Structures are given as C-alpha cells and as structure tokens.
Amino acid sequence: MSPEEWMAVALAEADAAAALGEVPVGCVVVSAEGSVLGRGHNLRERDQDPTAHAEMVAIRAASEATRSWRLEGATAYVTLEPCVMCAGALVHARVERVVYGCDDPKGGALFTLYQVGADARLNHRLDVIRGVEAEACAARLRAFFMRLRAQGKK
C-alpha cells in the first residue's frame, strides 16, 4: 500500500478516537513486509492515562503482536506529529520510519519543536516523512476543537 493508503488507516483510527470524545489522532505500525503490527488511537480521557496516545497504544499492540520490543524495519503512520514522549518511544522501539500527517506547533518532536528522531546523541534514528495527507489530518483536529469550543470547553 502507498503512504496515503496507510495514512487512511491511521485516519480511521483518528475517527474512532473522535467518536469516543478523544482528540482525533490515530496511528498504525506496519511491518517491512506490509502487514499491520499494531494500531491505536488516543485513549487518554477514557483510560485517564497520560501515556495513552495513539502512538503508544499502537507500539504496545505491535510489541505484543511480535513478542518483541524491537520493531526494527517497521513504519509508524500517525496523523499528527508525535510529541516528545511518543517520539522517544518510537526511537526506543527501533522503528525504522515515521510518516506523519500534520505538524504539531505546540508539541511536535520530530520536526516542529524538536528533532528527536534525528538526534545523533541517541542510539537510534528515525527516517521521518512529514505532510502525508496533512490537510485531512489537520481538518479532523480543527473540527474536533471547533466542536469543543462551541460547547464551551477548551
């Protein structure tokens, strides 16, 4: 499948998050051979867990499926640029590549605020591709936050 097709899978996860009232971020981790290892969407509110970001959920599922914390050769497709926590987890999991949709000006850790995946001081680096289906990813976030504001919530 193409990066755009995999991002559509991640966007479906983002839609699942939105249906639960979660910030619509989705992630799918794909093996080098092209099979889904894990998928996830934000579950912070449901689980009351600050680590329940889409990437963390997907990484845990992929590690469980492979019975390994090493996700070498895998690609993570995520709708929003990963935060510091998620970027660090992707590095520690030895994911090969991260493809993300829209930049995160308030917390992006692969391009916008930090470049965690390119830091030579770490023992692993990530190939990063940004901007795949960026408008579709950003549109979901804008719509979600517009609804929250209309309801008088932040």
- Residue 45 annotated as catalytic: no
Q: Considering 22, 55, 81, 133, which one is annotated as catalytic?
A: 55
Residues 145, 64: Cα–Cα separation, whole Å: 33
- The residues carrying an active-site annotation are 55
